[in-house]
Chain A
Amino acid sequence: QKEVEQNSGPLSVPEGAIASLNCTYSDRGSQSFFWYRQYSGKSPELIMFIYSNGDKEDGRFTAQLNKASQYVSLLIRDSQPSDSATYLCAVNLIANDMRFGAGTRLTVKP
């Protein structure tokens, strides 16, 4: 079973819409959850982190965590073409360092 799973996409949304990105993880004891954005040929860039169940908002981004369902999501409101990138979910597993999902490619169409 993969440690961190994401739908690889591509996910395509029109400009101004809400983009919803999902991630599940296998280790129930995982404690820290991160969303990174990666543009083609560039390094991952941290967008948000979340530790507690519920929602965490930062500007147009909202991270949602449900530990019972082992599920974390990222919502991007008012999506812009510049948001087009691959979004990586990352999880700190117990006794292990951060592991990444394969990423979801998002395209925001003008």
Chain B
Amino acid sequence: EPEVTQTPSHQVTQMGQEVILRCVPISNHLYFYWYRQILGQKVEFLVSFYNNEISEKSEIFDDQFSVERPDGSNFTLKIRSTKLEDSAMYFCASRTGNYGYTFGSGTRLTVV
């Protein structure tokens, strides 16, 4: 069964450093997403991406965040200057049509 692949599975970074989280969505999917889940809390929407541009972003997705689809397969989330409160599990998801999103296994980001 097709799956969404995320790397790395766990990333530890120093506060203030830049991190790039990588995702390979399912190949025929057209819509791409990043969500995050702080430990013990709900899954929160960050951003959606369609047709090579951001279609929607939440209040969380401030100027420190950016997304890119550099080569037609990868979909990346960059955090420019990480803060302690950015520590969370970050999920990439993709979909085609309206049959629900397929999530990757997540990247656990720990900012120290």
Would you give 16 A-B contacts (Cβ < 8 Å), ordered by A? Answer: A32-B98, A34-B100, A43-B91, A43-B106, A46-B101, A46-B102, A51-B98, A96-B56, A97-B33, A97-B45, A97-B48, A97-B55, A97-B56, A98-B33, A98-B45, A100-B44
Per-position 1/0 for A35-59, Cβ under 8 A of B: 0001000111110010100000000
CA distance A88 to B100 in the complex (A): 13
CA distance A100 to B93 in the complex (A): 13
Q: Which residues of A contact B41 (CB under 8 A)?
A: 102
Q: Which residues of B, 23-48, contact A by the 8 Å Cβ criterion?
A: 33, 35, 41-45, 48
Binding site for A on B (CB under 8 A): 33, 35, 41-45, 48, 55-56, 91, 98-106
Q: Which residues of B contact A88 (CB under 8 A)?
A: 43
The reply to whether A49 and B100 contact each other, CB–CB distance below 8 Å, is: yes
> Nearest B residue to A51 by beta-carbon distance?
B98
> Closest CB-CB distance, B6 to chain A, in whole Å?
9
Q: Which residues of B contact A99 (CB under 8 A)?
A: 45
CA distance A45 to B33 in the complex (A): 15
> Closest CB-CB distance, A23 to chain B, in whole Å?
13
> Closest CB-CB distance, B77 to chain A, in whole Å?
15
CA distance A51 to B45 in the complex (A): 21
A-B contact count (CB 8 A): 43
- Quick one: which of A32, A43, A98 contacts B105, CB cutoff 8 A? A43
Per-position 1/0 for A69-82, Cβ under 8 A of B: 00000000000000
The reply to whether A103 and B42 contact each other, CB–CB distance below 8 Å, is: yes
Closest 6 CB pairs of A and B: A43-B103, A102-B42, A46-B100, A100-B43, A97-B48, A49-B100
> Nearest A residue to B103 by beta-carbon distance?
A43
> Nearest A residue to B92 by beta-carbon distance?
A43
- Quick one: which of A51, A98, A101 contacts B101, CB cutoff 8 A? A98
The reply to whether A49 and B99 contact each other, CB–CB distance below 8 Å, is: yes
The reply to whether A92 and B98 contact each other, CB–CB distance below 8 Å, is: yes
